[in-house]
Amino acid sequence: MFKKNLLISVISLVFSGASLASTISNAQITRMNLSELRSALDKKDITSEQIVSAYMAAIDKDNHHGKKINALITLNTDALSQAKAWDEANHGGKANAPLAGIPFIVKDNYDTKGILTTGGNLTLETNKPARNSFVVQKLLNEGAILIGKANMSELAASYGWMGYSSVGGQTVNPYNPLRDTSGSSSGSAAAVAAGFAPFALGTDTSGSIRGPASVTGTVGLRPTLGLTSRSGVIPLSLTSDDVGAITRTVSDQAIVLDAIRGIDPSDKATEFVEHPVDKFSHSVASGSLKGKKFAVLDNFDGGNPDIDRIKNEAVNQLIHDGASVTHIRLPAEFENLWSLVLGPVGTAEFRPQFDAYLTTLGNGQPKNSTEFLSVLNKLTDNGKKTINPGRYKGLIDSIETITTDSPEYIGILTQRIPHLRSELLKIVQEGDYDAIIFPTMSCPASVIHGKSDKDYICKSSDSYAASYIASSTGFPEISVPAGKAIGNVPVGFSFMGKAGDDLKIMQFAYQFEKNN
């Protein structure tokens, strides 16, 4: 029924916007970056209605048909009428905001007023929030047009089934139907890669923006923790939860970050970081690699020969562009951050933070995790749909475990995390490094659960391990396309900086992207 309703919505939206007179084709529109879309809108070469219609046509072609990417859970059926209203209101001149009239997609753990927000879980499949999340509202205030909600790993945790949810099913990699799009912002990355939207919002707790971006040939940024607000987003673990975007280019990333960043009284983390006055998008292209010094992280080598090859090629490219590099190995504790930090903190925080979120929902929705689990058990017992068994077990463990007052949890927050930040900062400062660089993941996109692919090689016990460094310290990291592995799957390369270095690493990524 979900797929049928989504198909009907797409068809009606596409045909209602099909009578536009522009000579620019749908294919041309869906290949434009954000600056090109802005320029074409301001010159009246295209309309917002035409842009939305073009992306809806792409969704109709390849979401449940064609490539069957299955990136979207639901659509905003008012998107075309909202685009048309924007066109009418802005008939006489240029828009004041870079994203005005431009469509976007959000991961389905962001609250969207009057539009389903499920987190990919059956229990919330009728949940229509009364308000938008903070960053979604900021985009709407700019005049951007929300066109749909993206599938995701269930409640933002994959447990081996990357990009699968009991509501949306399995998201498929646009580059290889046997491979997944990593997790948990799987649908967001797949949607941008497939041309369903020029950008999409995701969330990142332990690599969930960077990993999906890496395996789909897109750009993913985990900002400095606190640069963007998490309010109105289904939480997983607020010590590490972060909000950001997946885009086609680094310059697009800067444009979106300018739109969504800012202080939010409802998220205290935003009050403890510096919020630059100047726009990132104004200076992202002004950086240089010449004379810069990078630390090449070697702790996670050996997972896959293509990844190691692309790493070497990326390093050589940076040297060719005038940078110097030093190969380093971080202390062993940085190789085990899931067990030392993210795992125990996530288990401790999920229930109280999830309970707080559930209290914000309307009538008919569970008000605490006990009610949530009771409803979920009834739905799965009835065989309505399958929940990832690993995710279900993880959910049970988190709900049944209340350890936010435990010495281990308190010790991690008050001692271990500050120690890790201090140690990493010391390494960067003593080496006078401008950034730490490494392959975003130590293995390519993995094989979808239940399928096989003889080309897949992964000798790493956890291909996300490098991502846990930024997640545990709150440092920013950007993943930018660097090449392809066997099986036609993209591979991303990361630049990680100190807290507050968001512009700096975007500038490096921009130059790398331009020259690679």
Phi, psi of 447 (to 5 degrees): -75, 135
Phi, psi of 204 (to 5 degrees): -140, 110
SS3 408: helix
Q: Specify whether the backbone of 156 is left (phi greater than 0), alpha (psi in -120 to 50) or beta.
A: left
User: Is residue 53 among the annotated active site residues?
Assistant: no
Contacts (Cβ under 8 Å, ≥6 apart) of 326: 293, 294, 295, 296, 431, 433
Q: Are 200 and 71 in contact (CB under 8 A)?
A: no
Q: Identify the burial level of 228 via C-beta atoms within 10 angstroms of its C-beta, where 0-12 means exposed, 13-18 middle and 19 or more buried.
A: buried
CA distances from 504 to 128, 240, 271 (A): 39, 22, 21
The owner of tokens 């963007």 is 228
Q: Which of 184, 231, 442, 494 is catalytic?
A: 184
Question: Could you give the CA distance from residue 174 to residue 255 in angstroms, rounded to a whole number?
Answer: 25
Question: Could you give the CA distance from residue 234 to residue 353 in angstroms, rounded to a whole number?
Answer: 9
User: Is residue 494 among the annotated active site residues?
Assistant: no
Question: Could you give the CA distance from residue 138 to residue 4 in angstroms, rounded to a whole number?
Answer: 32
Contacts (Cβ under 8 Å, ≥6 apart) of 42: 94, 95
Q: Are 100 and 90 in contact (CB under 8 A)?
A: yes
Can you name the residues that pair with 485 across neighbouring β-strands?
A: 489
DSSP letters, 51-62, are HHHHHHHHHHHH
Q: Beta strand 242-247 with 219-222: parallel, antiparallel or unpaired?
A: antiparallel
Question: Could you give the CA distance from residue 450 to residue 162 in angstroms, rounded to a whole number?
Answer: 12
State the CB neighbour count (10 A cutoff) for residue 274: 10
Q: What is the 3-state secondary structure (H, E, C) of 65-105?
A: CCCCCCCEEEECCCHHHHHHHHHHHCCCCCCCCCCCCCEEE
Question: Could you give the CA distance from residue 458 to residue 307 in angstroms, rounded to a whole number?
Answer: 10
CA distances from 342 to 163, 263, 321, 464 (A): 20, 25, 36, 12
Q: Are 98 and 258 in contact (CB under 8 A)?
A: yes
User: Is residue 208 among the annotated active site residues?
Assistant: yes
Q: Which of 61, 107, 149, 498 is catalytic?
A: 107
Can you name the residues that pair with 494 across neighbouring β-strands?
A: 438, 479
Report how far Cα 29 is from the mean position of its chain's Cα atoms: 23
Q: Which of 158, 208, 240, 471 is catalytic?
A: 208
Would you name the residues annotated as active-site residues? 107, 184, 208
